[in-house]
Amino acid sequence: MPEMLQLRRLSQAGFVLRGSGTSLVIDAFLSPRADRLVPPSVLPEHLTGMHAILATHQHRDHLDLPALEGLVAASPAAQVIVPAPITDLIAPLVTASRITRALVDRDIQIGEAHITPVPARHGVTMADAYTFGQELSGGLHRHLGYVIELAGVRVYHAGDTIRYDGMAERLREMRVNVALLPINGRSLEREARGLVGNLNHVEAADLASDSGIPVVIPIHHDTIDGNTGSVDELRAYVRSKHSALRIVEIAPFAELAWQAG
């Protein structure tokens, strides 16, 4: 039987990836919050046996520190992988030997998973948006995405980002099979509240098409009140502009199996 990659979405941008005997959890946002539209039905203690716990950047819906404490306890052998400039944020919760400092283009091997950190263009607040966070971090990238090869599938988890020069070319060279892309976009109203935005549905589809990525799984669109995006609009745009692009929606806390090729 062909090997499969198991993808489980944890709402917002959170995912569990399992394949080839290796399990990873990325951007697990599992804590209660007043503005959540989707309450967490998975608790940190349920996610046992992880080989690595990854976060793309420091915002609470990606690096959920209360949840991280439970995840670290549930998987005592797991490495915790975060952008190098924010390791101080997790140091009180994670022993130093378990922390991996993620740097752009510095490959990380966890079990059978090959992980390549790539830049994301975002911001801690609107004061530093939309940047790579280098000005705050001694020249290092504070916001990342990850290209993860596992069970024969190359998955790009974008984290929070907008498009930047050379992004599509970089991803095309990496031959990504599936892209997990935010579609919530950005607006003056949200930015006035200090909310740094992301790709919208048009930008996400254009990026995937320009990068030669055949499949998009939309993320960051259905979990937080007032910060959502439309999968229906994404599908409509793809039908009109990028008919070869496939959109696969995964409901919060649902799972699907993906076969290489």
Question: For residues 127 and 135, is the Cβ–Cβ distance under 8 A?
Answer: no
Look at residue 217 in the predicted model and tell me its pLDDT. Answer: 98
Tokens of 197: 């935005």
170 phi/psi in degrees, rounded to 5: -60, -50
Pairing of strands 79-83, 144-150: unpaired
pLDDT surpasses 80 at 2: no
- List 108's β-bridge partners, or say none: 115
Instruction: Fill in the amino acid letter for 93.
Output: L
Distance CA 67, CA 52 (A): 14
pLDDT surpasses 80 at 16: yes
Look at residue 260 in the predicted model and tell me its pLDDT. Answer: 86
Query: For 187-197, how does the pLDDT look when each residue is reduced to its tens digit (9 = 90+)?
Result: 999 999 999 99
- Listed in sequence order, the residues at least 6 apart from 97 whose beta carbon sits closer than 8 Å to its beta carbon are none
pLDDT surpasses 80 at 157: yes
Distance CA 21, CA 43 (A): 22
Domains of the chain: 4-251 (3.60.15.10)
How much is the average pLDDT of 88-100? 97
Distances (CA, A) of 176 to 31, 39, 203, 221, 232: 31, 31, 17, 22, 24
Query: For 21-37, how does the pLDDT look when each residue is reduced to its tens digit (9 = 90+)?
Result: 999 999 999 999 999 99
Look at residue 1 in the predicted model and tell me its pLDDT. Answer: 63
How much is the average pLDDT of 125-146? 97
Tell me which residue has tokens 């608790």. 43
Peptide bond into 146 cis (omega under 30): no
pLDDT surpasses 90 at 225: yes
- Record the pTM: 0.98
Distances (CA, A) of 75 to 5, 60, 86: 20, 21, 21
Distance CA 231, CA 239 (A): 12
